[in-house]
Amino acid sequence: MSRPSTTVVGWLAAFTVLFVWSGWVVVSRLGVAQTLTIYDMAALRFAVASVAVAPVVWRFWPRGLGAWKIAVLSCGPGVPYVLLAFFGMEFAPASHAGILMNGTLPVLAALIGWWWLKEAPTRWKVAGMAIILCGSVLIAWDRSSGGVGPDVWIGHLSFVASAALLAAYMVAAKAWHLTPMQALALIPVANLLWYGPIYLLFLPKAIDRAAWSEILLQGLYQGLGPAIVGVLCFTIAIRAIGATATAAVMAGVPGAAAILAIPIIGEWPSPLAWAGLGLATAGILLTAGWTPRRLVPQRAAS
């Protein structure tokens, strides 16, 4: 049998990331409604991921970075990011999480990159950012979707704060030339080293009361999904089909999360949420630099 082409592998990798990231929103929302505390879920995430990356830590640890840069980089997609996301999911549904976290991410990354790297966004990106914000406003007004509670605004603020941390990490990783393999080695281990003792000594736990099925689901999905499979497939996709095409696929994360939440946790988005989702998806595409004529697979030059 002939081997699949690089382009086919790239598209498969991109859609794998789409389902891994959208599935993470739903699995996390499910987790906060069950027995485990958000602190248990964070501990499981970084413990499992640290075990998975242990064979490559010594080889790919970013030794050229100072301690403060390592601290900044590890916090971006690390414990502060996931705790804010989990906390927000205690108040807001998966559809809101998918839109506000993934929608505001390119806006915040563009603004931070403009301030830090002096990379001014193009007019199309500014238009995309404006459309994303319009979609986010609709989500902020939504009170009819399944899973929306009286304090949903707390979840909204938490989602935006978590997106800001991840956006800062993305810009810092670019500024300090962090490679994907270095990120894979650094983030789980650095977070486990400082969070593990705090979790064991001070934070509330319910892991002793949780069912093994819940522990395995959260441990394996949190630790191996976005943290390992997501990073590797994202890198493969960018190298195979280019950043623009990959970003176009990633624009589907909010919609996929909203759709997956319907059968898995029974959260139906309202018409207002669907409208916000549509606007946010269109805005993400523009902010990512996508136009129909640019959705042509490119090699790693993108």
Question: Does pLDDT of 301 surpass 50?
Answer: no
User: Which band of pLDDT confidence, cut at 50, 70 and 90, is reported for residue 89?
Assistant: very high
Q: Is residue 141 part of a domain?
A: yes
CA–CA separation, 102 vs 116, rounded Å?
Answer: 21
How far is residue 35 from each of residues 84, 127, 226, measured CA to CA in Å? 18, 43, 22
Any domain includes 302: no
Angle (nearest 5°) at CA 55 between 49 and 61: 80
Question: What is residue 55's predicted lDDT score, i.e. its pLDDT?
Answer: 95
Residue 7 has pLDDT above 90, yes or no: no
pLDDT digits (tens, 9 = 90+) for 131-190: 999 999 999 999 999 989 889 999 999 999 999 999 999 899 889 988 888 999 999 999
* pLDDT reading at 2 higher than 80: no
Residue 202 forms part of a structural domain = yes
Strand boundaries in 103-252, DSSP class E: none
- In terms of pLDDT, which residue wins out, 5 or 299? 5
Crossing angle for the helix pair 79-89 and 38-60, to the nearest 10 degrees: 150
Residue type, 25: V
Minimum mean pLDDT among 115-119, 221-225, 259-263: which range?
Answer: 115-119
Asked if residues 156 and 92 have their Cβ atoms less than 8 Å apart, the reply is: yes
Q: Which amino acid is at 206?
A: A
Average pLDDT, the chain: 89
In a domain, 37, yes or no: yes
- On whether residue 156 sits in a domain, the answer given is yes
User: What pLDDT sits at residue 243?
Assistant: 67
Q: What is the mean pLDDT of residues 88-103?
A: 93
3-state helix, strand, coil in the chain (%, to 5): 75, 0, 25
Question: What secondary structure letter does DSSP report for 143?
Answer: -
| Exposed e or buried b per residue across 88-104, where buried means at least 16 C-beta atoms within 10 angstroms of its C-beta | bbebbbbbbbbbbbbbb
Examine residue 160 and state whether it is found in any structural domain, yes or no.
yes
* 296 pLDDT more than 60: no
Question: How big is the chain by its Cα radius of gyration, in Å?
Answer: 19
In a domain, 299, yes or no: no
CA distance 283 to 154: 24
What is the DSSP secondary structure assignment for residue 232, as one 8-state letter? H
Which pTM value belongs to this model? 0.89
Which two structure tokens, joined as six digits, stand for 225? 């999904």
How many distinct structural domains can be found in the chain?
1
DSSP one-letter code for 260: H
Q: Residue 227 sits in which domain range?
A: 6-294
Render pLDDT for 187-235 as a digit per residue (tens, 0 to 9): 999 999 999 999 999 999 999 999 999 999 999 999 999 888 988 888 7
Give 202's contacts (C-beta < 8 A, 6+ positions apart).
Answer: none
Count of alpha carbons within 13 angstroms of residue 147, beta-carbon side: 28
pLDDT value at residue 152: 95
Q: With respect to residue 105, please indicate whether it lies within any of the assigned structural domains.
A: yes
- Rounded to whole angstroms, the Cα distance separating 100 from 24 reads 14
